[in-house]
Chain A
Amino acid sequence: MRYILKKVLSMVLTLFVVSLCVFLAFSLIPGDPVTRMFGTEATPELIAQYREKLGFNDPLLVRYFRWFFAFLQGDMGTSYDYKMPVAGMLAEKIPITLTLAVMSFVIMVIISIPLGIYTAKYENGIIDHVISVINQIMMAVPPFFSGILLTFFFGVILKIFTPGGFVSYTKDLEGFLKYLILPAFAIALPKAAMATKLLRGSVIEEAGKDYTRTAYSRGNTTNAVLYLHVLKNAMIPVITFMGMALADMVAGSIVIEQVFGIPGVSRILLSSINNRDYPVVEAIIMGIAIMVLVINLLVDIIYRIIDPRIEVEE
């Protein structure tokens, strides 16, 4: 309980620092939201009037804390561009980006666990070598490029995927999920390759330990030893990576959404950065930061579940 409290406190502190950084970064880069709002119709009077109205004339820290406390109370402000509440704007986009990230994560886990164990079991066999080469390629190709290749192959050649044929989850959930499979693969493949490689090494190391000999002495098959005994031990270092990968996938989906034309958070994020639409950018970045922190917390909790020794060492 004390542990959770400590964690939550440090999370709030981290969020505070993140938000401050974003706020400061935007006050440093050139570009002014009010000027952009009016474009060519801007007159000095109009600008001055709106600057006053939006509170831009207050000192930076005053603006920051005004925003921060509002944010803590759940008020993300109003978009300069769209003139609507940020929360409402994001509410329908976040599920899309999150679904994509979670799908990528699931694909990564489903691929890497059996493959990592298999390549460790047949260490230095032909298939191990082949998979090792494929892994290298997967790690080297960035998701946006494999995304283009996948679209070309499945969309243009095989015609089992309609590029640009995105349907919203509110209209057709199945069609929505089907559309996300390819982009999810594009995000997942390099991470799956890394996780496979990591798990392979970890399984090989664990398989040499004494408890596996005990497991064999009780009549276990090799697969039973690997899945029932070794896997849980071998996952301990891999879980850290998978947690980081999930956080990365949330950020990675923003690029992939552009490639596949998915109307997730990415479009709003890019346009709001261009238009200096601070409330929107701040809210999205805070959202990503919160997600990363929550994922880290989950990883910590999963650690404790998997490895009973951790609790004692505290």
Chain B
Amino acid sequence: MGNVILDVADLHIEFHDHDKPETVVEDFDLMLEEGEIVGIVGESGSGKSMSALAIAGLLKRHALTKKGRIMFNGTDLLTCSRKELRSYQGDEISMIFQEPMTSLNPVKKIGWQVEESLRIHHKDIDKKERKRRAIEMLTAVGMHDPEKLYEKYPHELSGGMRQRVMIAAAMIGEPRILIADEPTTALDVTIQAQIVELLRKMNREKGTAIIFISHDLSLIRQICKRVIVMQSGNIVETGYVEDIFRHPKMSYTRKLIAAIPQIDLS
């Protein structure tokens, strides 16, 4: 067993924006080892994105309560100071989102956005070096003509290109954990495969551990070794992807597997 870098235990998330509190995540546990890719799968509203946002420290402070612990680097991200949390965000823990079309700031240049975590967390790196690394990163995510791209704005790029830019921006600080929340859902299938391949490459080359969230079990199977299956805020099953595919214990998991379209070539 490798080195555990993230240990989430008994995570509870409750919303209070209505009269009755609403539990969206209950008893969520996750152990993430250095350099591994873990999948979280479940339908919409199963609490997978909520858990991911909680780990990334991106849940809004009011109108909800969080219980449990999210241990990273010896600190509990749920109870630590805002300042300490920020020191990890974008540097040690990065996140990419489902909506590449809207996740980038429309009025800022690509280069500025890709470099942002370096600007925030590594003030010792000068402008020239920042640019060099941003261009290196844009090349690494497979963008052509990164010098030109550096000066462009998000609206000049397609959805797939924007998601690559998001990955470049998330990976520039060489984080230990990358949380990918349905990174391919908004993209078409060929682009989807490219993005998955790119994430695998990042994992291989930089050793970044990835939490890959998807509603698509076949996609999870392509990229993850271990998977957590969630349904209405609870973990219903967890284990190696191949085991779960062969011997799904829960009927919900069986349904998810059955939902994968099969192409009969015979």
By a beta-carbon cutoff of 8 Å, the part of chain A in contact with chain B is 209-211, 213-221, 224, 229, 232-233, 306-309, 312
Give the chain B neighbours of A312 by CB distance below 8 A: 155-156
Q: Which 6 A-B pairs have CB atoms at the shortest separation, nearest pair first?
A: A218-B90, A219-B90, A219-B89, A210-B102, A308-B153, A211-B105
Q: Among the interface residues A210, A218, A232, which one has the most CB atoms of the partner chain B within 10 A?
A: A218
With A209-B102, A308-B153, A312-B155: A217-B95 Cβ-Cβ less than 8 Å: yes
Residue in A217, A229, A232, A308 whose CB lies within 8 Å of B89: A217
Is B87 an interface position by the 8 A CB rule? yes
For residue B207, give the distance in angstroms from its CB to the closest CB of chain A: 20
Residue in A214, A307, A308 whose CB lies within 8 Å of B166: A214
With A211-B104, A215-B105 known, 11 other A-B pairs at CB within 8 A are: A210-B97, A210-B103, A211-B103, A214-B166, A217-B89, A218-B94, A219-B121, A220-B116, A224-B120, A308-B107, A309-B153
Is B131 an interface position by the 8 A CB rule? no
Question: Are A213 and B103 in touch, CB under 8 angstroms?
Answer: yes
Question: Are A218 and B169 in touch, CB under 8 angstroms?
Answer: yes
Give CA–CA (A312, B103) in the complex, Å: 20
Total B residues in contact with A, Cβ cutoff 8 Å: 29
For residue A104, give the distance in angstroms from its CB to the closest CB of chain B: 28
Is B40 an interface position by the 8 A CB rule? no
Some 29 contacts from A to B, beta carbons below 8 A apart, are A210-B97, A210-B99, A211-B102, A211-B103, A211-B104, A211-B105, A213-B103, A214-B97, A214-B103, A214-B104, A215-B105, A215-B116, A217-B95, A217-B170, A218-B116, A218-B169, A219-B117, A219-B121, A220-B86, A224-B120, A229-B105, A306-B107, A307-B106, A307-B107, A308-B106, A309-B106, A309-B155, A312-B155, A312-B156
Is B137 an interface position by the 8 A CB rule? no
Q: Nearest chain-A residue to B101 (Cβ)?
A: A210
For residue B101, give the distance in angstroms from its CB to the closest CB of chain A: 9
List residues of B (77-116) whose CB comes within 8 Å of A's CBs.
86-91, 94-95, 97, 99, 102-108, 116
Question: Are B166 and A221 in touch, CB under 8 angstroms?
Answer: no
For residue A231, give the distance in angstroms from its CB to the closest CB of chain B: 10
For residue A206, give the distance in angstroms from its CB to the closest CB of chain B: 10
Is B220 an interface position by the 8 A CB rule? no
Is B235 an interface position by the 8 A CB rule? no
Residue in A209, A213, A229, A307 whose CB lies within 8 Å of B58: A213
Is B209 an interface position by the 8 A CB rule? no
Question: Are B105 and A233 in touch, CB under 8 angstroms?
Answer: yes
Is B230 an interface position by the 8 A CB rule? no
Residue in A217, A220, A232, A307 whose CB lies within 8 Å of B94: A217
Give CA–CA (A220, B58) in the complex, Å: 11
Give CA–CA (A307, B109) in the complex, Å: 11
Question: Are A233 and B107 in touch, CB under 8 angstroms?
Answer: yes
Is B135 an interface position by the 8 A CB rule? no
Q: Among the interface residues B107, B108, B116, which one has the most CB atoms of the partner chain A within 10 A?
A: B107
Q: Mark B154-187, 1 if CB is under 8 A from A, else 0.
A: 0110000000001001100000000000000000
List residues of B (55-71) whose CB comes within 8 Å of A's CBs.
56, 58
With A211-B105, A229-B105, A232-B107: A217-B90 Cβ-Cβ less than 8 Å: yes
Question: Are B105 and A214 in touch, CB under 8 angstroms?
Answer: yes
